[in-house]
Amino acid sequence: MVFPIHRLRKDFPALNQLVHGKPLVYLDNAATTHKPQSVIDVINRYYAMENSNVHRGVHHLSEQATFAFEKARGQLKRFINAASEKEVIFTSGATDSINLVASTFGEMKVKEGDEVVISAMEHHSNIVPWQALCERKGAFLRVIPMNDRGELLMDEYEKLLNERTRLVCVVHVSNSLGTINPVKEMIASAHARGIPVLVDGAQAVSHIKVDVRDMDADFYAVSAHKIFGPTGTGFLYGKESILSTLPPYRYGGDMIKSVTFEKTLYQDLPYRFEAGTPHIAGVIGFGAAIDYFEKLNHADVAQYETELLNTATEALSAIDGVRLIGTAAKKTAVLSFLIEGAHAHDVGTIMDREGIAIRTGHHCCQPVMKHYGVPATARASFAFYNTEEEIDALIRGVHKVKEIFH
């Protein structure tokens, strides 16, 4: 396949710089992706020319800002194939989206003795809110185990579902392992027992075509900065039939119809969950990121990223003393590894001196590290703007680490 990698890289100004005198090799995309110039331009234009609050003004600038803000909601609705724009709630990101569900749906549905099911590979943001909820309610957190390849044990998942299960919360793509979970099948199993499902989609949306109606997710959480958009913004998808039954998450301006000292009436969906002045520039930039991404051929992107992952996996596997963490049959562009005799943080520091940006640590997945009996891993994660030459640089970096420590 001829993928227009060199043309696309020109769209991302951050990629064209030197780090410690060497060309930047950015392989930390699971943490955050870089932004194309079109997204940067839209954000700059908002602050330079359109800066105004949304929904509340009748003057020209406010109308412009509101139009761009709501246009982004429509883009996101189409991007994930939601049934209505009412099902797209702007938040500060996937973490905020999950907390919104825990603080509304969770508070309403989970009682003493009930159970919430999560998986062994969850990011802390899809563990801690449910753990805290269960502690408050006297409920129980149940965990779907995984094997050493980093795949969920589906037979064990089926056994966990019972009449006390009030919600299943599962990651679509693991940020620490790259595993793609069979969320459509997991949702079907839960729905057969009347159990709703929340999916953490933060790592999935830039690699996999997401259709929330096809997978039948009840909730789906996304961060903009994982898909070439700004930090500090994202959205929660929720089925309108569920969201319409939930109380507000936060209280303040723009989420009300009327206020008296005796009673407050709240806005309809989606605004009842969007109190206060939102991250307007971020949302508009998010819309621009989706516009940029949708102009690409998703199938070509997925194939190219798979080729990068396969090339890197094969090359790392051939190096003595390198251990791969997470070898699921179905995974996307995340490669976690250890180098014998070197702590992951030392690996990251040496790589950085070579201009190579990888992530080291527990990746907000300490239970995953415990499963593998390690304190941390080094993680290289790819996007469509990475190249085979950058994988070559990564492999040279690994040999540099081995040279220093052996």
CA distance 337 to 401: 13
CA distance 46 to 52: 8
CA distance 380 to 258: 51
Q: Tell which phi-psi region holds residue 200, choosing left (phi > 0), alpha (psi between -120 and 50) or beta.
A: beta
Residues 6+ apart with CB under 8 A from 69: 54, 55, 278, 280, 283, 284
Give the active site residue among 134, 169, 364, 365.
364
End-to-end CA distance of the chain: 39
Q: Is 364 annotated in the active site?
A: yes
Residues 6+ apart with CB under 8 A from 393: 25, 354, 355, 356
Q: How far is CA 200 from CA 118, 123, 236, 272, 387, in A?
A: 11, 9, 10, 22, 28
Residue 98 identity? I
Q: Which helix (H) or strand (E) holds 143?
A: strand 140-144
271 closest CA partner among 125, 110, 26, 54: 54
CA distance 136 to 118: 17
What six digits make up the tokens of 318? 């051939």
Catalytic residues: 364
